[in-house]
Each structure stands twice: as structure tokens, then as C-alpha cells.
């Protein structure tokens, strides 16, 4: 278990893809995380952003690892400070590992982990131009609930607030 509040499954099987091992991010993982972040976003998080989340008691930082090599294939950062919502702050998968069900395994574990919490939903902010993320999250039953104009300082894109509500 990664968090006592959020019951995250240690290992998830995918029907046609290799399963990944999920565990808490560790300080020694950060060089790989920075590389994945840089190749994934046009405005990547800085090291200070990651350090703040790793230290914060209400942030859940997850590494998706190759079960054979331990290599970091991706990561997710979730803010659990709200009583009702979990906020997905960051999710990224190594470029050469995308389209192999890793992101789906991470997200499905977070969704199933909500069952034992007071959290009613997971929310995420997605840039208008990030169609890949929008389609990915739509497949996972996320729905757009709000559009924020002028949300991003470094972009003219609107921000879509997407939400997954537990059933």
C-alpha cells in the first residue's frame, strides 16, 4: 500500500500488455521522473514542484515501474488535501512506453482506490490543446464539468476541468 488513505493496488494485470508495479516515488527516482516530465509537456514542472509534492503529507506520488527491471516507466501525482475530491496534478508515461496500457493501469488503480475513501471524485485540469489526454481520460469515464478561460499563464488555451465520479 502506498497510502493509508488511498488504497492503491500494488500490481495490476492488463489483458494484452505487461503489468506494472506501482509504488511510492522515492527521491532516487527523480532523475527519471524529470526526464519523463520534460519529454511529456511543453511547460514541464520544475524540480521544486516535485520536491514540494514528495514532502507534502496529502500528496500521493506514484511510480509505475517495470516489474522485472524496476525502471520507472511513468508516474502520477495526486493531491488528497480536499475532503471531497482527489486532484490529479500530474501523469506522464515515458515516450517509448506510451500506448502500452501503463497510464490506464495507473489511473484504474487510482479509481479503484477511491472505494475506501470519503473522496467522491478525481478531478484534473487539461489544456485545450492536449487532445491525447482528453481522449485518454474520456475512455476512463472522466467528463468535462467546467471550462476555465485565462487559466494558464503561458498559453492562450482554455483549461478543461475533467472529473471522474466514483459509482
pLDDT in tens, 29-61: 999 999 999 999 888 899 999 888 888 888 888
Please tell me the predicted confidence (pLDDT) of residue 12.
37
Q: Confirm whether 160 is domain-assigned.
A: no
What mean pLDDT comes out for the span 5-9?
43
Q: Confirm whether 42 is domain-assigned.
A: yes
User: Mean pLDDT for the chain?
Assistant: 84
Q: Is pLDDT larger for residue 117 or for residue 69?
A: 69
Radius of gyration of the chain measured on its C-alpha atoms? 15
**C-alpha cell belonging to residue 163:** 472529473
Question: Does position 14 have pLDDT exceeding 70, yes or no?
Answer: no
Strands (E), the chain: 11-12, 20-24, 59-65, 72-79, 85-93, 121-127, 143-148, 159-165
Q: Confirm whether 17 is domain-assigned.
A: yes
Tell me, what CATH number does 48's domain have?
3.40.630.30
Question: Does position 70 have pLDDT exceeding 50, yes or no?
Answer: yes
The number of distinct structural domains making up the chain is: 1
Amino acid at each position: 500500500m502506498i497510502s493509508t488513505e488511498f488504497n492503491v493496488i500494488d500490481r495490476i494485470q492488463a489483458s494484452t500488455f505487461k503489468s506494472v508495479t506501482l509504488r511510492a516515488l522515492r527521491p532516487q527516482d527523480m532523475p527519471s521522473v524529470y526526464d519523463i516530465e520534460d519529454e511529456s509537456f511543453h511547460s514541464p514542472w520544475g524540480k521544486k514542484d516535485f520536491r514540494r509534492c514528495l514532502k507534502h503529507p496529502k500528496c500521493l506520488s506514484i511510480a509505475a515501474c517495470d516489474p522485472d527491471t524496476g525502471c520507472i516507466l511513468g508516474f502520477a501525482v495526486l493531491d488528497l488535501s480536499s475532503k471531497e475530491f482527489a486532484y490529479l496534478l500530474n501523469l506522464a508515461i515515458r515516450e517509448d512506453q506510451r500506448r502500452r496500457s501503463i497510464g490506464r493501469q495507473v489511473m484504474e488503480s487510482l479509481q479503484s482506490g477511491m472505494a475506501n475513501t470519503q473522496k467522491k471524485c478525481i478531478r484534473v485540469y487539461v489544456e485545450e490543446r492536449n487532445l491525447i489526454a482528453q481522449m485518454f481520460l474520456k475512455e476512463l469515464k472522466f467528463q468535462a464539468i467546467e471550462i476555465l478561460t485565462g487559466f494558464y499563464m503561458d498559453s492562450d488555451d482554455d483549461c478543461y476541468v475533467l472529473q471522474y465520479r466514483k459509482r
